[in-house]
Every structure is written in C-alpha cells, then in structure tokens.
Amino acid sequence: MSSVVHISQTPVLVAKNVAADLANSVKRGIPFHIALSGGSTPKLLFDYLAEHYRESIPWGDVHLWWGDERCVAPDHPESNYLMTKESLLRGVILPPGNVHRIKGENDPEEEAVRYADEMKRTIPMKDGLPVFDLIYLGLGTDGHTASIFPDRMDLLNESAVTAIAIHPESGQKRVSLTGPVINHAAKVAFLVTGEGKAEKVSEIFEQKDGSELLPASHIHPVHGDLTWYLDRPAATSLRF
C-alpha cells in the first residue's frame, strides 16, 4: 500500500486536484465503481466535476455508490444522495442503473442487507469482499469516517460489508460500509479541508497517543493506495 498526501491552498484547488486524478483513473469501456462520501468537502468536488468534466470522463462506465447514507428519504435535506443529485448529477449523465443509492427511506436493517447484496452482485469480488475502484472518505472532527464513529470501532473489523450506525450526537441512523470493505478498495482518498480538521489530521499522521481511538486512523488499504487530499488549513499542524 502506498500513501500519498496532496496539499492544495484552497478547498476549490483540492476539488480541482481530485477531479484531475479521477479523470486519469476512469478508463473508457471499463466499469469503474466509486463509493462517494457525504459532507461539505465532497460537494465542492461534485460541483467541480459537474462544471468541468461533463465530457472528459466516460460517465457511462462509472457506477456511483455511497460509503454511507443517512436513514432519511432521498429528498430529505440531510440525504447524501440528494446532495450528490443536486451537485454532480445535475451536470453529468449516468445510466440510471449505474446510480446505486442507499435507500434511506427503507428499514435500515433491511436496507443494509439489500445494499450489500447489490454490491456483491455488481462489483468484482475478491476474498469475499467487493473491490471498489475508488472510495472517497471525509474526516469528522471526532475522527470518524464514513459513518464509523469512535464508539463503534468494531465496525472496522465487521465481517458484514454494511452496518447500521448511529450518529453519537444526533442519534440519526446511518447505513455505512464497514472497515474491511473500505480497506479492500483499490484506492481510498480522504478529502479533508478546513482548520477544524487540522488537529485530527495531525493526530492521525503523527500517530499521536490516542490516535488509535480514531476510526479514520485505521484506514489502510490492504492491497490498494491511500491518498490524502488536504487544503493548507487542514494540513497546518503537519510537520514535513
């Protein structure tokens, strides 16, 4: 596994960097399975892709999945799918069958199973796990990623590919990929911006005492590559 860090001056330049790397990764005629993240940072990327990469990425070969989703309806303001629909999908066209949303309106337990089955039917498998070509992740200020929160470190080694998580503050239920699936991807990319993340970025990169309690510090693709895309404020505490 290789680990690379890209630091850009601003969040928009992070989005520009990530978009260019994505365009270099998707090969025409070869299905490319991406798991998207929710949150504010990925939205910048999705807007940038919708604006600048409508034609230069073969979107017909791209399959969109989600690393996690809030258990809400697809038109709910907190839906990760809605955020993607209103940013990326307003600008790029994918075959409807290539958009594999987590159905937040369904019973969470049933949806976790349904979504897992859809992955297993659609994404190439290895060692019993779907192998995503790329998984985008964010980093919470508590060190969570996807919807693996610090009070559920067990999800990092969960045998099932999906799990139900509960946001520790809001109590909101989420369906999330589990650690083994994330660490089985060909490439994992963290998109992290803002000074508010600097402390956690530093804890993780410098493996400070207590960093082992942060779910994001346990993301190490077994066979794949790990890339961190940071803006300058999020990287401010790093010592290179």
Site residues (CB under 6 A) for ligand 6PG? Answer: 37-41, 67-68, 80, 138-140, 144-146
Consecutive H or E run containing 205:
helix 198-205
Torsion 55-57-62-66 (CA) sign: negative
| Minimum CB distance to ligand 6PG smaller for 126 or for 220 | 220
> Measured over all CA atoms, what is the biggest interatomic distance in the chain, rounded to whole angstroms?
47
| Minimum CB distance to ligand 6PG smaller for 39 or for 224 | 39
| Minimum CB distance to ligand 6PG smaller for 5 or for 31 | 5
The nearest distance, CB 56 to ligand 6PG, in angstroms, is 25
The nearest distance, CB 146 to ligand 6PG, in angstroms, is 5
The nearest distance, CB 41 to ligand 6PG, in angstroms, is 4
The nearest distance, CB 193 to ligand 6PG, in angstroms, is 7
What ranges make up the beta strands (E) of 138-211?
162-166, 173-177, 187-192
Q: Which residues pair with 34 in a beta bridge?
A: 64, 134
| Minimum CB distance to ligand 6PG smaller for 38 or for 233 | 38
Q: What torsion, rounded to 10 degrees, do the Cα atoms 191, 194, 199, 200 define? A: -30
The answer to whether 191 and 138 are in contact (CB under 8 A) is yes
What ranges make up the beta strands (E) of 101-224?
125-126, 129-130, 134-137, 162-166, 173-177, 187-192
The nearest distance, CB 28 to ligand 6PG, in angstroms, is 29
Give the residue closest to ligand 6PG by C-beta: 138
The nearest distance, CB 80 to ligand 6PG, in angstroms, is 5
The answer to whether 22 and 62 are in contact (CB under 8 A) is no
CA distances from 226 to 6, 55, 99, 139, 191 (A): 11, 27, 24, 14, 11
| Minimum CB distance to ligand 6PG smaller for 116 or for 189 | 189
The nearest distance, CB 152 to ligand 6PG, in angstroms, is 13
How many CB atoms neighbour CB 234 within 10 A? 29
| Minimum CB distance to ligand 6PG smaller for 22 or for 146 | 146
| Minimum CB distance to ligand 6PG smaller for 98 or for 193 | 193
